[in-house]
Every structure is written in structure tokens, then in C-alpha cells.
């Protein structure tokens, strides 16, 4: 530690030792002075209360003298000492020092007795001499009790003031002792702080050595970084240029130091948009904003340009008066740009293929519906003629097959419209309960043929009129109920409706649940069943057919109407 610091430390320790020695003596001196002041106050209070008893005795003596000789002078002496006693008692009641004391139970009864005596005797004292002389015995009859009451007040005061004085002295003594202790602790803390400062000084020297080592490491990192590091001042002039920057830009540090970084290392004129963005980033960094990351076209020494990514930040070197620096980390992103272009081309090709596939499916489905509609119409016309039972059975098979094929075509069209964003809900008011009953009635025959019981259960009562796309909702319900009928044998299928709490925007929400006692779905397949062309074949010898598009279309329809669809299985 330098000699000057040792001198400061010694002076601080000496002052602290002197303070620690003087403070206890000062505390004792203050305590003695407070004791003397407290004794003076209590003695004065006790003297006033004792004078009350003395004045009672003097009044009693004056009455005895007047009774022996009722001369006017003796009667006037009685009046004088009565008035003195009356004034004394009134002063006790009106004084802010004694009034709180007299309100306590130990004093109030004695004081009230004295006061009552004075109030009832004052009329006799103020009466003529003849009346007063005749009634002196009555005036003096209660004086022994009054004297006893005043003595009780005096004795109580002696006891109370003694106890109070002791408490006050102890309180002040403890307060001063604690104060002295606190000051001593503070001084000790100051001494400890001085010691800590000395220790920190030694530590700061060690940290300075560590900073020098850290600076050496940072210089090594700066020199060996694979990314270009360019350091400029607030004016944009290049202050440092690492070897990676020399390699990327094809210029040595000696060639660029002191030159403007934006004009030397980046392409474009000062008023070009790219230069403007670069300068804005530099200004923002100088203003103290967070580090910024931009992309710009950098220029090599031979004039060729390349795309570069810059991370620009402001650095404040330690030390007073140090100028802020702008540090830019730069890397060549030519390979990344090429990869992005390749990905963009691949994405464009993929989107074009998807669009072509969707258009092909839409056209093919539409072209298939036209002859199918003609075929179905011809079958209907043939039914109107006379047919043998065998012919009618064949037409029925043709009708069922055509309906299945037409359903597949419609499913493909729905998927195509959904992929093209063509599913638009058609909102109108309709009776929801009636729609559910119609769906159930439509599947009732198939359910009965499979030995199933199909029922509708409105959990929250009839729903009534709602606003929505009746056709799409019916399509979803028909698909769900149809699936339940397909995969349930000799069981029960329930279509439940329930009105839920309104959405945050006030929209009324209805939940449909189609439950069955069928074969169930494995947990791993619950999410997969809503994908297109997914069919599960757990049993029944694949007797339940389908394209695997129904649930996928149902989910698209539900989401298009702002709803959601899911499945659970136990």
C-alpha cells in the first residue's frame, strides 16, 4: 500500500479511537443533567400538593381561633385561608400539569371530596360575620376529612413521582447508552470501511492485472476471429481492422485506418437507400439504442461486391474521457443467399405442383360429376317403367353404387375447394333442433339394420333458432353419425347438444357430441383420423368402406365456421 494511503488509514483510526473514548463520558454527563432537571420538576409538583394539606391546616387553625374569639379580624382570617385553599384547588384542576393526574382513580376521589366541601362551604364563607360566626362549627366539621384527603393525594404523589422519576432516569440512561453504543458501532463500521477500502485497493490492483491479461486475450480473439471486425469512432472513421477484415475486403489495415467506413467498405453513393440504412443504423447505435443487425452489399478492394451481414453495437471503453466506439462484426453471406435462392425456387416449384394437382382434381371431379348425374338420372327414369324384381334389384345396386361414387367425387371437390380457400360459410337463421333430428332420422334405418339404437339428447334443453351455415353443420353431423353407425354393432349411438358459455366476444357457442359404444380408436390414431385419405381397419372384415376424406373435410368445415372438432376414445 502506498505511504499516503497508510497515512490516511492511521488518521482515520486515531479519530475513531478518540470518538470511542469521549462518547461514553458525554453520555454520562448528559444523563446527570437530565436527572437534575427531572428532580426539579417532580419536587415542584410535590410541593404544590403538600401546600394543599398545609393550607387545610391553616384554615382549620383559623376556624379554631375564630370560634374562641369571633372577632371580625379572626373571621377575616378564616375567609383569607379559605380563599387561599379554594384558589389552590382550582389551580390544580385548571393546570395542564396536574389535571391529567387528578383524573386518575388514585386522586379523583380525594380531589372530588375536597372540591365538594369547598363548593358547599363557599356560601357560608361569603355570608355576613354573624352568620359565619354562628356556623363556624359546621365549616370546621369536615376539615379532618379534607385534611386526610389532601394527605392521601400528597402521599400518592410522592410515590407516583418517585416511581416516574426512576422510570424516566432509567429510560434516559438506556437511551443515551444505546445512542453511545450506536455511535460506537458506526465508528467501528467506519474503521472497518477504511480497512475494506484498503483491501479493495489491493484487490483493484489485482483486477487491473487481470484486465491487462483479459485485454491480451481479447486482442488475440480480435486477431483470430473468422468474422471481420471493424472498429470506428463516432465520426465513422476506421480505428481498427482485424486480419479477417483484411482478408474479406482485400485491403490491409494500414490502407483503411482513418478513412470513412461507409464510403470505403460498402457500395453505393451516400444518398443510396442502402447507404442510408447503414448510416441510420450507425446513428441509432451512437444514440444508445440496442445493437442492430442489418444486411448490406459490401465492396472489396477490386470493386466487386458481395452480400454481408453486419451486427453493429456501441462500446464504451472504461476510463474517464474515453471516446465511445462503434464495433461492427461482418460476415460474407454469399453462400447463404445462394441457398435461400435455391430454397425459394424449390418452394415455387412445389407450390406450382400443388396448384396444378388441385386444379387437376377439381377439373376431373367436375368432369366426373357430369356423366354420373346423367347415369343417376337414367336409372331414375328406368325405375318408372315396368321392371321385374331382378331388374329392380340390379337398378338398386346401380343406384347405391352411383351414390357412393358421387359422394367420393363430392368429397374430392370439397377438399379441392378447401385447399383453394373456397370454403365460405353461408350464414342464415335455422332451427338447430330440427336439423339434428333430420340427421338422426336419415341414419336411423342404417343404425337399426346394424342392431343399434340411435337417439338425440339435448343436454341443455332445446336450442331453438341459431345463425350459421345449416348445410355445412348438417354435413359435419351426418359424417360423424354415419361413422358411428358404420363402426358400431348392436350398441347405442347418442347425438348430444349443449349450449356453452358465450365466447369472449359474446358469440353463443353450441357443442355437438356423437358418442357410441363401438370398437373405439387407438390413442395413437386419434389425431391421424382427421388427415386426408386415412382409413382404419380394426375389425368387421373391412365391411365399413370410405375414402378417408370425411373427417378431414369435417375439420376443414368446422374451422371455416370458427369452430373446432376433435375425438376421444376409451
31 lies in the same domain as 167: yes
pTM of the entire structure? 0.39
66 lies in the same domain as 28: yes
| Contacts for 439 with CB less than 8 Å, ≥ 6 apart | 474, 477, 478, 481, 495
Indicate the number of domains in the chain.
Answer: 4
355 has a pLDDT exceeding 80: no
Give per-residue pLDDT as tens, 223-243. 788 788 888 887 778 888 889
394: Cα separation from own chain's centroid: 73
CATH code, domain with 526: 3.30.565.10
185 lies in the same domain as 273: no
Distances (CA, A) of 196 to 4, 189, 193, 203: 16, 10, 5, 10
277 has a pLDDT exceeding 50: yes
Which one of 364, 399, 415 terminates a domain?
A: 415
34 has a pLDDT exceeding 80: no
pLDDT mean over 115-135 = 78
185 has a pLDDT exceeding 50: yes
Pairing type for strands 305-315 and 325-332 reads antiparallel
In a domain? residue 345: yes
Please name the residue ranges forming H helices in 455-504: 470-486
Report pLDDT for 42.
Answer: 47
Which one of 332, 354, 377 terminates a domain?
A: 332
Report pLDDT for 538.
Answer: 46
98 lies in the same domain as 232: no
Report pLDDT for 515.
Answer: 93
| Contacts for 420 with CB less than 8 Å, ≥ 6 apart | 358, 362
Distance CA 113, CA 514 (A): 96
Q: Are 514 and 484 in contact (CB under 8 A)?
A: yes
Which one of 332, 363, 383 terminates a domain?
A: 332
Rounded percentage of the chain residues whose pLDDT exceeds 70:
68
Report pLDDT for 157.
Answer: 67
Report pLDDT for 418.
Answer: 63
In a domain? residue 212: no
At 525, list the grid cell.
390414431
In a domain? residue 206: no
Report pLDDT for 493.
Answer: 93
In a domain? residue 35: yes
313 lies in the same domain as 359: no
Q: Which of 57, 58, 56 is nearest to 77 (CA)?
A: 58
502: Cα separation from own chain's centroid: 27
Report pLDDT for 453.
Answer: 93
Please, which pLDDT band fits residue 7 given cuts at 50, 70 and 90? Answer: low
Give per-residue pLDDT as tens, 298-337. 888 888 888 888 888 877 766 555 677 888 888 888 888 8
Lowest model confidence (mean pLDDT) among 137-151, 244-258, 327-341? 137-151
172 lies in the same domain as 252: no
93 lies in the same domain as 20: yes
In a domain? residue 215: no
33 lies in the same domain as 168: yes
In terms of pLDDT, which residue wins out, 394 or 189?
Answer: 394
Give per-residue pLDDT as tens, 365-382. 666 666 777 777 777 777
Report pLDDT for 40.
Answer: 43
Report the range out of 119-133, 261-275, 354-368 with the highest average pLDDT.
119-133
What is the three-class DSSP state of 333? coil
Report pLDDT for 20.
Answer: 60
179 lies in the same domain as 51: yes
pLDDT mean over 531-542 = 57
In a domain? residue 497: yes
Domain range for 36 is 3-193
Report pLDDT for 309.
Answer: 83
Q: Are 438 and 444 in contact (CB under 8 A)?
A: no
352 lies in the same domain as 446: no
In a domain? residue 319: yes
232 lies in the same domain as 118: no
pLDDT mean over 396-404 = 70
| Contacts for 506 with CB less than 8 Å, ≥ 6 apart | none
Mean pLDDT for the chain overall: 76
At 420, list the grid cell.
383453394
In terms of pLDDT, which residue wins out, 545 or 314?
Answer: 314
In terms of pLDDT, which residue wins out, 34 or 37?
Answer: 34
In a domain? residue 437: yes
At 396, list the grid cell.
338398386
Report pLDDT for 539.
Answer: 46
260 lies in the same domain as 322: yes
Give per-residue pLDDT as tens, 548-560. 677 877 888 888 8
Give per-residue pLDDT as tens, 284-302. 555 555 677 778 888 888 8
483 has a pLDDT exceeding 50: yes
CATH code, domain with 244: 3.30.450.20
Q: Are 491 and 472 in contact (CB under 8 A)?
A: no
Q: What are phi and psi of 554, to 5 degrees?
A: -60, -40
Give per-residue pLDDT as tens, 82-112. 888 777 777 776 666 666 666 666 666 677 7
Amino acid at each position: 500500500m502506498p505511504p499516503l494511503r497508510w497515512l490516511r488509514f492511521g488518521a482515520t483510526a486515531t479519530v475513531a479511537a478518540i470518538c470511542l473514548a469521549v462518547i461514553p463520558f458525554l453520555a454520562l454527563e448528559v444523563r446527570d443533567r437530565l436527572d437534575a432537571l427531572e428532580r426539579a420538576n417532580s419536587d415542584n409538583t410535590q410541593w404544590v400538593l403538600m401546600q394543599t394539606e398545609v393550607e387545610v391546616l391553616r384554615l382549620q387553625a383559623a376556624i379554631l381561633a375564630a370560634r374562641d374569639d369571633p372577632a371580625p379580624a379572626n373571621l377575616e382570617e378564616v375567609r383569607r385561608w379559605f380563599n387561599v385553599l379554594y384558589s389552590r384547588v382550582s389551580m390544580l384542576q385548571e393546570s395542564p400539569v396536574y389535571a391529567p393526574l387528578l383524573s386518575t382513580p388514585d386522586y379523583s376521589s380525594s380531589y372530588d371530596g375536597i372540591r365538594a366541601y369547598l363548593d358547599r362551604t363557599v356560601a357560608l364563607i361569603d355570608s355576613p360575620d354573624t352568620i359565619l360566626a354562628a356556623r363556624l362549627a359546621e365549616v370546621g366539621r369536615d376539615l379532618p376529612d379534607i385534611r386526610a384527603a389532601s394527605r392521601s393525594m400528597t402521599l400518592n404523589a410522592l410515590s407516583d413521582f418517585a416511581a416516574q422519576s426512576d422510570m424516566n432516569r432509567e429510560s434516559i440512561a438506556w437511551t443515551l447508552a444505546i445512542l453511545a453504543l450506536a455511535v460506537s458501532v458506526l465508528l467501528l463500521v467506519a474503521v472497518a470501511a477504511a480497512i475494506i477500502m484498503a483491501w479493495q485497493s489491493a484487490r483493484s490492483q489485482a483486477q487491473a492485472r487481470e484486465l491487462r491479461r483479459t485485454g491480451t486475450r481479447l486482442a488475440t480473439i480480435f486477431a483470430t476471429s473468422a468474422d471481420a471486425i471493424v472498429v470506428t469512432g463516432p465520426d465513422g472513421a476506421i480505428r481498427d481492422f482485424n486480419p479477417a477484415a483484411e482478408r474479406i475486403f482485400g485491403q490491409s489495415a494500414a490502407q483503411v485506418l482513418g478513412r470513412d467506413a461507409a464510403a470505403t467498405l460498402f457500395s453505393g453513393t451516400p444518398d443510396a437507400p442502402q447507404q442510408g440504412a447503414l448510416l441510420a443504423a450507425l446513428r441509432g447505435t451512437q444514440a444508445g439504442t440496442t445493437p442492430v443487425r442489418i444486411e448490406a452489399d459490401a465492396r472489396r478492394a477490386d470493386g466487386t461486391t458481395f452480400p454481408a451481414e453486419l451486427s453493429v453495437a456501441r462500446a464504451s471503453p472504461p476510463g474517464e474521457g474515453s471516446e465511445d466506439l462503434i464495433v461492427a462484426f461482418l460476415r460474407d453471406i454469399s453462400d447463404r443467399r445462394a441457398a435461400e435462392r435455391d430454397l425459394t425456387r424449390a418452394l415455387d416449384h412445389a407450390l406450382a405442383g400443388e396448384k396444378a394437382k388441385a386444379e387437376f382434381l377439381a377439373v376431373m371431379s367436375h368432369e366426373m360429376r357430369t356423366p354420373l348425374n346423367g347415369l343417376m338420372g337414367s336409372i331414375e327414369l328406368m325405375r318408372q317403367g315396368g321392371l321385374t324384381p331382378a331388374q329392380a334389384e340390379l337398378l338398386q345396386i346401380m343406384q347405391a353404387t352411383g351414390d357412393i361414387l358421387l359422394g367420393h367425387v363430392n368429397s374430392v371437390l370439397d377438399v379441392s375447394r378447401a385447399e383453394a380457400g373456397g370454403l365460405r360459410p353461408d350464414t342464415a337463421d335455422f332451427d338447430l333442433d330440427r336439423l339434428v333430428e333430420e340427421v338422426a332420422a336419415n341414419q336411423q334405418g342404417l343404425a337399426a339394420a346394424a342392431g343399434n339404437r340411435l337417439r338425440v339428447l339435448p343436454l341443455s334443453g332445446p336450442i331453438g333458432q341459431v345463425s350459421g351455415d345449416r348445410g355445412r353443420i348438417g354435413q359435419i353431423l351426418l359424417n360423424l353419425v354415419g361413422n358411428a353407425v358404420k363402426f358400431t354393432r348392436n350398441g347405442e349411438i347418442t347425438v348430444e347438444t349443449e349450449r356453452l358459455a358465450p365466447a369472449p366476444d359474446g358469440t353463443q357457442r353450441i357443442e355437438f357430441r356423437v358418442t357410441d359404444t363401438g370398437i373405439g380408436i387407438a390413442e395413437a390414431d386419434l389425431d391421424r383420423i382427421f388427415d386426408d385419405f386415412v382409413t382404419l381397419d380394426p375389425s368387421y372384415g373391412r365391411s365399413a368402406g370410405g375414402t378417408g376424406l370425411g373427417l378431414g373435410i369435417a375439420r376443414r368445415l368446422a374451422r371455416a365456421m370458427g369452430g373446432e372438432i376433435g375425438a376421444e376414445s376409451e
